Structure 1
Amino acid sequence: MATSSSTLTDHLCCAICTEIFTDPVSLSCQHTFCKRCLEPTLEAGLTPRCPECRAPITDRNFQINRLVNNMADQLRLEQSRQENTRGQRSTGDECPEHGEAMKLFCVTDMKLICLVCKEGRDHREHAFKPVREAQEELMTEVVSALGILKEDLNKVQDKGESQQRNISSRGERSSQVKEKIRTQFEEVINKLKQREEEAMREIDRRDGLYDMLSQSIPPQLIIK
């Protein structure tokens, strides 16, 4: 069937563009081309000749070859159907090797297979499960794994929050210690200032007392 289709395609392809005929026209020499592919030959200015056999083209009043045109349309339609079928098979649940529905899951190879694959030597002594059963078990495993992952994530988040609280607590304690040291230091400075002021007042008092005593002593008793 493939050989027949390939041969038909060869007969329905234009020798100039190598594509399936579009608006095919036939010359007197019985060679056929797409009308648009033949137009440059007719417009060349010299005596036009057939691109294949070089026979002169005497009649330029071309008519579309309806028979060839219909066959070309049918060929394009068939090729489109075949491409769609191949696309559906490649994206569906059919075995790419045997074209059968893949109804089994090979536990050993962790892949979908068809009944023909099961009997082949590549899967001898392997363990199999129906696809639906394998899907349900896999979904259960996924849900379980997600649960464990969520628990681990919560633990990490809790640990992170705990560490953040510890850091904040340490920061608060550090601030408290700094504030206490600053307060104590200010108290020491204030006490020193008070003592300085008291000492200055005592010096002033003694200076005043000395002046007062000096004024009360008779001049003749003052030692010069």
Structure 2
Amino acid sequence: MARALQALGEQLQAEATCPLCLELFSRPVLTACGHSLCSPCAQVLLGSPPRPAACPQCRATVEPGSLRPNFPLGAVAELAAALEEAAGEEAKRPRCSEHGEALELFCQSCFQVLCPRCREEGPHCGHRTRPAEEAAKILRETLQSNLVFLEKEKEEFNPKGESRINMLMGTVASEQQKLRTAFEQLQQFLREQEGALLAQLDGAHARLSEQHREYTCRVSERGTLLEELVEEIQKKRDQPAVEFLMDVAGILDRCVEAKVPVPDPVSSELQRTVSNLCKTSERVLAVLGDFRVDLLSKMDTERVKVLLDLETASRYLTISSDCRTLQIAEGWQNLSDTPKRFTGSASVLGSQGFTAGRHYWELEVGDGNNWAVGVALESVQRKESLMMAMEKIWALRMDWDRSYTALTMPPAPLSLQEEPRRIRVHLDYEAGQVTFYNTDNMQQLLQFKVSFSEKVFPYFWLGLPGTYIKLRS
């Protein structure tokens, strides 16, 4: 149909075209021989002054003054011009890339322009559509209302976020300075107190050294005196009476001197001084330890509540009803052998795993031995012995002989100065650190450096009856 209309339009244009200028007729005139020319073209053909000329179509003579206006042909030429303009506008309209037809519809569901065939055949079939012009009018009004709102917003736009950020930055900077000042003052105070206590201890040490030298000298002198007197008396006792009596008084005086008790190595006053200084030192150390624990507890944002995961617990373990305490069971327990359960070792995992962040939990171990606490990867081997699983475990272990081991692959012996009973396990996932502390004094016991790439769980193991592991709330 479109092609037929195009052909008719082309035929109409051919009929309305001047044979001289080959443009659409402009004020056409009719010759006596029945052909038509544009009025300007006829004037050019007849010349100036006008004279007879041959018709450009049939060569018949065209006399000046014989031309008559051809109004119907002029109307046809105007119609042809209008059709040509409409065809040009139609050619400029966007067309559907799939069907080649003009995009004259708008899908209100998908906000897309369509051709009629898209509405009837494609995925937009059944969607609500409007004529493109109507939809454009409605959306222009919508955009205009948005424009009015946005222009008003633009005029009134005065964000205060930057001032708030600056205020917060100033607050942070102020807190930083306060902390620096407070810690510097605290450090200065501690240094002064440290200096004063150490000076007193140094003075006591110097006095002890002096009294030690005096005591050593007196002991040496007394030893020499005793040796001399023993030797002299042994010689004197067998002498004749007169010779024996000649200097016996001096020997007796020296015997009296030798019987005088050797003075105490340390004076009672100095002993009291040392005792008082030791008590003061103990109190200071206790205060510092309490201060350290108290400071860390008040800054604490990383503590997590860890419970024992019953689904992973070995058949050789007994778990308390609150899932906080584990012990070696009195006998083998009839539990289902699931993929999560440890069957090769008396192990259990915590119920919560971690893939990011800093976290810690605290626990208490009994007086017995052969226990281990730490972390394990989710993929840790659960059906083999502890030795086979250590590749994915990082733990602190007390062995059967009460020695300590860094439990990883390979295990490494540890030399600890104390037997911790309350332990903090700290996990820093991004930094790849697992650190163990004695909770009583916050002294570091052990630290592992690891590169984690999967979920990490708290890990617990018992080797012998007689002890327990209890998670602290």
| TM-score, scaled relative to structure 1 | 0.42
Q: Which structure has the larger Rg?
A: 2
More strand by share: 2
| TM-score, scaled relative to structure 2 | 0.23
More helix by share: 1
